[in-house]
Chain A
């Protein structure tokens, strides 16, 4: 009797561990048709020959080493890049590598891209450090590297350009929107992101600097961190409302989720979010669009993951030998309440 119990217990624990592992590794191993990491690296002559032929047809040859699946945001970025390449098969020869969130896979992918002699290598580095050797290899082969949405900690001459968001710009845009909503005067509160996060620091700096410079009649009466989460955003907003009550005319959140939490707190206080207290936040997640449609949120400043077009334009410029800036700032969208009902239909993430 006792032994059977032990066996059952042991089996259960194995099952549970199994669940744990699937929990960690739910990224499907998805080798795409032209997965470069499976290409024979040793076999130099073949890709070289192929390379010669293909450079003749004048196509833009691009290899892109993506991190893998990580969030809805990254999925949208991958989809955007693959979609653009798919639309332009005639002019673009696109190789895609999914690194399954491992740096060594990305390094492998870059090495095989070099062997294939592509024109440009795109990379969303999974970590910041450890890229010097492989970047130097690419540089020696004369292939420019384009960093997408994340920076790598390497000397500036090792990569061609960085395409990504400018959080300071987002903060500035948010300040402009807030001023528009409030008619350039009023008291507002700020929900900050996690202390020390670059998105939080820059969105705060951009917003506060712009407010100080352009809209002296808008006063930020309180600012507290909400750790980028809904629950904390709600709790902090509750407290702000207790202290300042209906004096608060607007709330600026470093991300949408905190503002979604704050909206609940505003309702609790008997005020109307979206009219009594206006909201401006960053990111552009689906929940905030739903809130805007319901009239409870006003504006979101998007951190755009749809980098496909700008990525390939930059690659083409690099191939043609045109000058590109060291930091190509991705276009940020600003979405407002009045068009939210239309915008929500086109949201892919």
Chain B
């Protein structure tokens, strides 16, 4: 019991519990078929794999978004940046270009977009939500310009591999996420960057006077966030073999912020946990998957999803948990008396 209490102190504890709970409920409702695992054409094929693969985009976005939110900022342009990156890559591949070149240029586009956001926020001191709104609105226009307003379809197996490929029977996007998260975690834990990031979020002014280059840190995290959005855009467009500028990553910025919030990172900045956000992303994806799996009628899917989100947020709320605990304790006390 004591051990469990210790474990529950970790920020990542509750998101994992919730994620497992959602899977468990699904397993019970479906009579176990939810966990069914098959091997099709030499790769694993199951709902769990679907959640991991479809959730990979959101996991990448949540990684970038966690760091942005840790500085007390926000980035609502990630969906549009996804559209830009997909448009760039697909246009190059469709024009007969090399897939590797297309990927590099697309990621570069994401870095430029992110750096632009960082510039507006850190140097010109525009409110983050307003600064990133510029690209959120203009980004889709830029993507449309690149593709001439059409859906560019690509038929390259190499490009499709980014989303649909398998290594050792596991989907390739999972390896991208693992690689990125590993690098980021090393960078945060093994250098002072994580500490600087947290202190920037808690109090930028005193951090500045303590000798931390707050502007540079902000610029870095926005650039990184843009880069993550570009990679997510590549995964998205590879999955549908085309760049759909109108719909790629539409409203996904909200999901990314929600993933971080469910992970328990405060939107006011400060303490953050990337693993917790990753599970937040998986929770959101598993909600979508379970709504489909349970065959909820299309007219009410949104409502069902939001009810689940509300319940989860209550679960994560300290004040709510305390008041429940108090009531339980009160009952216990009454029984004992």
Contacts and interface: CB of A to CB of B under 8 A. Distances in A.
A229 interface: yes
A277 B100 CA distance: 34
Contact of B292 (A6, A228, A236): A236
Interface in A1-56: 5-6, 9-10, 12-13, 16-17, 19-20, 22-24, 26
B301 interface: yes
Nearest to B140: A23
Contacts of A72: 149-150
Given A20-B141, A26-B144, A5 B151 contact: no
Q: Determine the interface band of chain A, counting residues with CB < 8 A from chain B.
A: 35 or more
A274 B242 CA distance: 20
B295 interface: yes
B240 interface: yes
Q: Determine the interface band of chain B, counting residues with CB < 8 A from chain A.
A: 35 or more
* Residue of A222, A225, A243, A261 with highest tally of chain B CB at under 10 A: A243
A19 B142 contact: yes
B144 A235 contact: no
A149 interface: no
Contacts of B230: none
Interface stretch (A174-182, A206-214, A264-272): A264-272
* Residue of B138, B155, B298 with highest tally of chain A CB at under 10 A: B298
A13 B50 contact: no
Nearest to B46: A242
Interface string A238-266: 11101100000000000001001100100
B138 A16 contact: yes
Given A20-B141, A238-B50, A264-B164, A231 B153 contact: no
Nearest to B45: A269
Contacts of A242: 36, 46-47, 50, 293
A61 interface: no
A16 B242 CA distance: 26
Nearest to A236: B292
Nearest to A191: B298
A195 interface: yes
A192 B298 contact: yes
Contacts of B210: none
Given A231-B236, A235-B292, A270 B40 contact: yes
B241 to A, nearest CB: 7
A291 to B, nearest CB: 9
Contact of A264 (B149, B241, B248): B241
Contacts of A223: 298
A270 B299 CA distance: 31
Nearest to B124: A9
9 contacts: A5-B123, A10-B124, A12-B119, A224-B295, A224-B298, A235-B288, A239-B293, A268-B164, A290-B155
